[in-house]
Amino acid sequence: MTEARMDPVDAIAEQWGRERPDLDLEAMAIIGRLGRLTIVAQHAIEAVFTAHGLQRGEFDVLAALRRSGAPFELNPSVLADTLMLSRAGMTGRLDRLESAGLVRRLADASDRRAVRVALTDEGKELVDTVVTAHTRNETRILSVLSAQDRKDLDRIARRLLASLEGQD
């Protein structure tokens, strides 16, 4: 394995170590790198969506509809809850996607007061294309890690996330 090179997090930890040698900075460095990793990875991930004319949130709506299975329809409230989004935020996304011809709003057959959101054929085709590019991109991002490293990282991330979400 190659020796780790210095990065901006090291510089921050070094400065804190100089100014506050009494602090244990290991956690700060790890959390700092996780934060930087999130930012850098998000840019690489969002580039795929942008290349296909979508924003991240729009992709999320299309993906939620697609993975719901045929007939690829959901209630807007269910969509908002699934994506942890306000009802107003969901309305804005749906308006944009409907204007682009990627979704349509339909009267709910079981409750005429309710609406369902459905993928159009164009929306289904687009989300299938984008999710293929998206998963390839994420695989590329993680390709620097061995298969065992990826399993270890997943296990560690699950444990940390569960503890922070109070599931541990």
pLDDT tens, position by position, 44-77: 999 999 999 999 999 999 999 999 999 999 999 8
Residue 97: other Cβ atoms inside 10 A:
24
**Over the Cα atoms of the chain, what is R_g?**
21
- CA 87 to centroid of chain Cα atoms: 19
Opening angle at CA 149, ends 13 and 156, nearest 5: 65
Give which of 63, 137, 135 is closest to 102, Cα–Cα.
63
pLDDT tens, position by position, 127-144: 999 999 999 999 999 999
Cα–Cα distance, 163 to 34 (Å, whole number)? 16
| The token pair that represents 88 in the structure block | 């107003």
Which pLDDT does position 55 carry in this prediction? 94
User: Model-level pTM?
Assistant: 0.84
Confidence tier at 1 by pLDDT (50, 70, 90): very low
Contacts of 123 (CB under 8 A, 6+ apart): 62, 65, 97, 101, 102, 103
| The token pair that represents 16 in the structure block | 């804190």
Query: Is there a contact between 91 and 127 (Cβ–Cβ < 8 Å)?
Result: no
What are the angstrom distances between the C-alpha of 109 and each of 5, 60, 113, 133, 166? 60, 25, 9, 35, 39
Q: What share of the chain is helix, strand, coil (3-state, %, to 5)?
A: 65, 10, 25
Check pLDDT > 50 for residue 121: yes
